[in-house]
Amino acid sequence: MGSFLARRLGQMLLTMLFLTLGVFYLVNLEPNLRKLAISQTEMHATDQELESWLQKNGYRKPFLVRYATWLGLWPKLPNVDPATGAATARFSWCDEPAAPKFSGVVEGDFGCSTKFKVRVVEKLGPALEATGLLMFWVMVVMIPVALVVGVVSGMREGSRTDRTLSVISIATTSTPEYVSGVVLTIIFATWLGWLNGSAASATEGHLSFYNFTLPVVTVSIYGMGYVARMTRASMIEVMSAQYIRTARLKGLSFTAIVLKHALRNALIAPFTVIMLLFPWLLTGVVIVEVMFRYQGFGQTLVDAAGNNDIDLLLACSIVSVALVLATQLISDVGYAWLNPRIRVH
Amino acid sequence: MQFLSPGQIVVRSFVQLWPVWASLAVVFGLSVVYRRKLGLFGQVVESATGFAGLLLVLFWLFAAVFGRRIELFDPLSQIARMQNTAPGAIDPHSGLPYLFGGDKLARDVFGRVIAGARIVLIIAPLATMLALSVGISLGLPAGYFGRRVDAVLSFLANLVLAFPIILLFYLLVSPGILETPIPYTLAGVFFAVPIVLFGVLFVSGYRTQPTQLALRLALTLLVGAWLFATFVFNADPFGILKVSPSTLNIFIAVALASGPGIFRIVRSLTLDIKTREYVLAAQTRGESAWYIMLWEILPNARGPLIVDACLRIGYTTILLGALGYFGLGMPPESPDWGTMIKESSPFMRIFWHPALAPALAMMSFVLGLNLLADAIREQSLRD
């Protein structure tokens, strides 16, 4: 188990390294740097001014040096005025060092957001908190419903209930967030007026049923059908197992069979599915946050990408890649833990 | 301004779609008559879910094919006084109705939804096929050879899978990236893969029949070269298709996003099938590795792959919609469903109709594909 974890962690680090290198390469493409320079300098800056801004702030240093600086394996250098030789911090709004210093991701410094003019941590922290809240409620709504639907339709395969629930599950997996969001908003906000079509007020701490239901339900719907289908398949498999037949032959009631014998074994597979669903929900969270104007991680990612905010975008990708890898690991380890027949090695 | 009543809107839309109904009637009529001879397809049509799924998919297919005949107005033309009009408003100038109303730029929503079908139904299946060919040509060797090949390819696939799709789209589908050689290089690689795949397929299968082999290779090269020129260089020698760089970019991003998933499925199917007796028999006969992969393993993996392809076209449609929703890649005027939803969603509280029509279109098409996939899976498991 120990060596398994060590190997997996090593693999994760390697993956992170490769992916951040890829992102770093893409955000530092010439057109993207130009976009950054244009947004950071005054209007109508000439090409020369753009170039000198990039030069001054160290964007013209060799690619690998800058990647190493960002990682924290190369000292971060301050801006040095060529005329006076005086060293000043690169970005005044976040305490960048005024003297050469190792200060990168490894040291816990995620850099400065050029768009929001704050340190990345200050921006990302609250955003992650907001999105965590959204995800929490999504899970609270989605998982119980999906499991119940899956178990009920899987315990009697082919029955009318099963068919109806299956079609409903397929329908929800065919409804991406930007579709269900639109349809639900039109019904519940425009026509009925029961719910708020914007979650902007939820960001300021005024979380209520009125402003938070639509975003939560919108994200939940897309994943719900998928989890329900997987639970159904798992339940069908368990219900056709030998020990269920034995229980039936012993004369146990159907309810007792389902609750005592089938349910626990049938819920092992959905656990994996739910874990692997997290990264998938990420896209949904981005869409929903943009659609309902909720200031969370997704909105931050969109802003960072739209403005080529290099440090913020890199931090966002670290967070999301870490989420993907961590959920994969938890699902593997958890599966082995829940199902003693499986061993990790 | 005059309006059609709700009943009139329904009747008029129904009449307007007559080429679609006629084609559907022909297809389903024929498939009922010949269902005994159609094998799996016949069984799928007979099941309720399969019928419903096929109905929805074919509806949009025919709507895309007959699009120009169905739409009453050009999807891009604007008639100023029709701005944000409710469904059924009649344009006094031409006397024709905006069946599903007008959007904020005074364009006909009905015509745009139909035109959107054309875009979606061209890009989604083609991009899926591209991803499928890449997934197959990498998944087969990874599963068959195992060891180092598998380790390297699986690592690469997991790398892409670990990347959040939305971030991938933001980085890969931007106007800036078109100035760099990245999309064209990726496209070059992606479009070369199917050519090589078919080349190897024919070389390994027709080794003993030189004339057949030459014929098939020539055909592969011709079609391949045409596709390559059209897509990668946007220089179709026959002038049939125009693929703008931004469309190419969408192709690449979507194929890259779903390729690794297909790779994993093909790999696990190969791992399973390569232990069967007929593969061992072929190995004993001394067949080449590629012959075994392409002529023994691949045909026997087709069932799950067809189901997956069906699901994946739906998923690709959803991805395309997401691209449109974030305003990535698609031209701003584009009538594709995602862009339409994006454009109208800020005004949803006041004007609901321009957002509802494309949303329902997207949902019904993907639902059709998913139902179809479910029916195919059920039927192929049966025998």
ipTM of the complex: 0.84
3-state class (DSSP) for residue B196: helix
Q: Is A65 on the interface with B (CB under 8 A)?
A: no
Q: Looking at residue B244, what is its pLDDT?
A: 79
Segment 147-166 of chain B within 8 Å of chain A by CB: 155, 158-159, 161-166
Mind telling me how many Å the CA of A32 is from chain B's nearest CA? Answer: 6
> Residue B204 carries which side chain, given as an amino acid letter?
S
Average pLDDT over residues A205-229: 83
Q: At a CB cut-off of 8 Å and minimum separation 6, what does A96 contact?
A: A76, A78, A89, A90, A103, A112
Chain B residues lying within 8 Å of A22, measured CB to CB: 163
Average pLDDT over residues A243-257: 84
**Helical segments of B206-244, H only:** 210-232
Q: Which tops the pLDDT comparison, A25 or A112?
A: A25
pLDDT at A145 over 70: yes
3-state class (DSSP) for residue A79: strand
Q: Which residues pair with B350 in a beta bridge?
A: none
- Cβ of B176 and A31 within 8 Å? yes
DSSP secondary structure string for all residues of B94-111: T--EETT-B-TT--BHHH
Q: Which of A4-8, A251-255, B149-153, B332-336 has the highest mean pLDDT?
A: B149-153
Q: Looking at residue B296, what is its pLDDT?
A: 87
Asked if A187 contacts A266 with a C-beta cutoff of 8 angstroms, the reply is no
Q: What is the pLDDT of residues B31-43, one digit of tens each?
A: 888 877 777 777 7
Mind telling me how many Å the CA of A227 is from chain B's nearest CA? Answer: 15
Q: At a CB cut-off of 8 Å and minimum separation 6, what does A196 contact?
A: A189, A210, A211, A214
Residues of chain B whose pLDDT is less than 70? 239, 382-383
- Cβ of B349 and A189 within 8 Å? yes
Chain B residues lying within 8 Å of A18, measured CB to CB: 159
Chain B residues lying within 8 Å of A197, measured CB to CB: 348-349
Mind telling me how many Å the CA of A175 is from chain B's nearest CA? Answer: 5
Q: Is A5 on the interface with B (CB under 8 A)?
A: no
Average pLDDT over residues A188-207: 72
- Best of A26, A324, A327 to disrupt the B interface (most B CBs within 10 Å) is A26
B370 closest CB neighbour out of A170, A181, A287: A170
Q: At a CB cut-off of 8 Å and minimum separation 6, what does A112 contact?
A: A90, A91, A93, A94, A96, A118, A119, A120, A311
Task: Please state which of the ranges A202-216, A239-253, A324-338 shows the lowest mean pLDDT.
Answer: A202-216
**How far is residue A130's CA from residue A167's CA, in Å, rounded to a whole number?**
34
Q: Looking at residue B59, what is its pLDDT?
A: 92
The 3-state DSSP composition of chain B as helix, strand, coil percent (nearest 5) reads 75, 0, 25
**Nearest to residue B317, comparing CAs of A178, A168, A306, A228?**
A178
Asked if A42 contacts A328 with a C-beta cutoff of 8 angstroms, the reply is no
- Cβ of B177 and A171 within 8 Å? no
Instruction: Give the CA count within 13 Å in the CB-facing half-sphere of B109.
Output: 30
CA A169, A171, A174, A176 torsion: positive or negative? negative
Asked if B170 contacts B181 with a C-beta cutoff of 8 angstroms, the reply is no
- Cβ of B318 and A176 within 8 Å? yes
CA B194, B199, B202, B203 torsion: positive or negative? negative
Q: Which tops the pLDDT comparison, A283 or A204?
A: A283
Q: Looking at residue B57, what is its pLDDT?
A: 92
Asked if B368 contacts B54 with a C-beta cutoff of 8 angstroms, the reply is yes
Q: Looking at residue A65, what is its pLDDT?
A: 81
Residue whose entry in the numeric block shows the structure tokens 């082919």:
A158
B349: which 2 tokens? Answer: 């509280």
Q: What is the dihedral of CA A172, A219, B325, B264, to 10 degrees?
A: -70
pTM for the structure as a whole: 0.87
